[in-house]
Chains A and B, each alone.
Chain A
């Protein structure tokens, strides 16, 4: 139970200090520390990242959602293809999905050119991959459960009954 509480808090903000998490959950600080260590050791917590609104930066950052269709043969399974693709640093997320296509892949690069090149030169040539459909991300409104943009103005009265 406390594991779950700690996980929820870390997902909300991985930078909460152990002291803050202890205050919010009523656990001891040392209990929080141990819980987090255990979750990390067990591979439940795989890392900590920032949620970035790239549109706010001058630098161009290009992202694409790529649909992949594959045909399997006797020697190759989904896991083999996934392993091969996941190694590329350009690939930020890779999921096997149900529906019209097999893999759902998120790719990031510095320019459209770079992303296109990566897909045509590194992904499409994989022999089992029969089709790729690339969707460039134009605007992102929500990432990792966090709404992007400036929608959080507090219009409440500063003092009210």
Chain B
């Protein structure tokens, strides 16, 4: 038979990173700075807790919203780290990665025809998520002049006052931009004024550098009631493959998300929940060590790009930096060129939407030796072609 694909599925183009992935796979000497996940293993204590839970046969479903004990730990953790106060019984849901939580939110709050404003460049899953839910995307570009922070002017210019929802992600994938409290205040005011629901993806919250503290928009006045916060264990706790994330929000919203979750996922992976519990309980030092190491690499990569003569945005969060490609290249051409000629994989900024063109996403979730070699190769490429 031929499959009559749903319009929604047909509308979404194939992922822009797939082509680069395919070229990279053709050769075996590639140093990849194209990865969006930690190069560290999950802290041992968390892995050990996962193993122990398996040995004890803890392999059944948990409560739909996640183990009560884990939700309590999450509540304590977000209160402690980010001044976020949520009730573990009603206002927290544990999901299979932040990815699932984001998807649940789109499905719970987007009606066909609803408009979702997305601050771009943005993580590549938001736009398809909105489309799968039947909504329409309004892209709100951010620019390097504004340090890739979302501004009210940007929102106004894009017409976001008409939108139903706004998606934020700070620290940002792909730019590494952060937003301070002062940056967030006017955005919050705009959201209140225009009655926007805010979906705030804060999965990189722990990875904030240069003495900056992560601020959640949900902590600002009048925002808790209109914000869903996403976080998870993939990045700071190096648990990508364990697939564990969570959403925080008012009971009504979390209940709606849980309604979908209980029919589609039932509950997040049990083994991963045990690992996560331990990660929150005892892996603070491991997180700190990884963050320090990312910071060191960040300094290294930023300063190397400057030496090479490529303009690079001073990223202050996540594990990406976002240099500009030299004149005469599009980001695609540059990325394909360094991959084919020098065996270095990076992702062109265009795939992350408006505001990303002319830039590259360079991940430093890779050991220093490889970073050193990769930057030497990029330098050679730039010298050959300029």
Contact = CB atoms under 8 A, between A and B. Distances in A.
Interface stretch (B28-36, B65-73, B259-267): B28-36
Given A156-B35, A157-B35, A159-B32, A20 B372 contact: yes
Contacts of B296: 9, 24-25
A157 B36 CA distance: 9
A158 B24 contact: yes
B123 interface: yes
B25 interface: yes
A161 B17 contact: yes
A160 interface: yes
B34 A158 contact: yes
A24 B297 contact: yes
Interface string A12-28: 01001000101111100
Nearest to B17: A159
Nearest to B302: A23
B304 to A, nearest CB: 6
Contacts of B123: 161
A158 B299 contact: no
A89 B361 CA distance: 52
Which residue of A9, A22, A154 has the most chain B CB atoms within 10 A of its CB atom?
A: A154
Contacts of A156: 32, 35, 37, 39
Contacts of A25: 296, 299
B20 to A, nearest CB: 5
B34 A159 contact: yes
Interface in A6-44: 9, 13, 16, 20, 22-26
A16 to B, nearest CB: 8
Interface residues of B, number: 28
Contacts of A22: 303
A157 B21 contact: yes
B59 interface: no
Nearest to B307: A23
Contacts of B32: 154, 156, 158-159
Contacts of A159: 17, 20-21, 24, 32, 34-35, 345, 347
B124 interface: yes
B297 A161 contact: no
A160 B39 CA distance: 12
Nearest to A9: B296
A25 B299 CA distance: 7
Interface in B15-57: 15, 17, 20-21, 24-25, 30, 32, 34-37, 39
Interface in B93-136: 123-125
Contacts of A24: 296-297, 299-300, 368
B20 A161 contact: no
Contact of B345 (A13, A20, A158, A161): A158
A25 B345 CA distance: 26
Given A23-B299, A23-B300, A25-B299, A161 B21 contact: no
Given A23-B300, A23-B304, A24-B297, A161 B125 contact: yes
Nearest to A22: B303
Interface in B246-267: none
Interface in A106-161: 154, 156-161
A9 to B, nearest CB: 8
Contacts of A158: 21, 24-25, 30, 32, 34-35, 345
B36 A161 contact: yes
A147 B362 CA distance: 28
Contacts of A13: 368-369
Nearest to B20: A159
A20 B296 CA distance: 10
A23 B298 CA distance: 9
21 contacts: A16-B368, A20-B300, A23-B299, A24-B296, A24-B299, A154-B32, A154-B39, A156-B39, A158-B25, A158-B32, A158-B35, A158-B345, A159-B17, A159-B20, A159-B34, A160-B17, A160-B35, A161-B17, A161-B36, A161-B124, A161-B125
Interface of B: 15, 17, 20-21, 24-25, 30, 32, 34-37, 39, 123-125, 173, 296-297, 299-300, 303-304, 345, 347, 368-369, 372
Given A23-B303, A159-B34, A161-B173, 20 more contacts: A13-B368, A22-B303, A23-B299, A23-B300, A24-B297, A24-B300, A154-B32, A156-B37, A157-B35, A158-B24, A158-B25, A158-B35, A159-B20, A159-B32, A159-B347, A160-B37, A161-B15, A161-B36, A161-B123, A161-B124
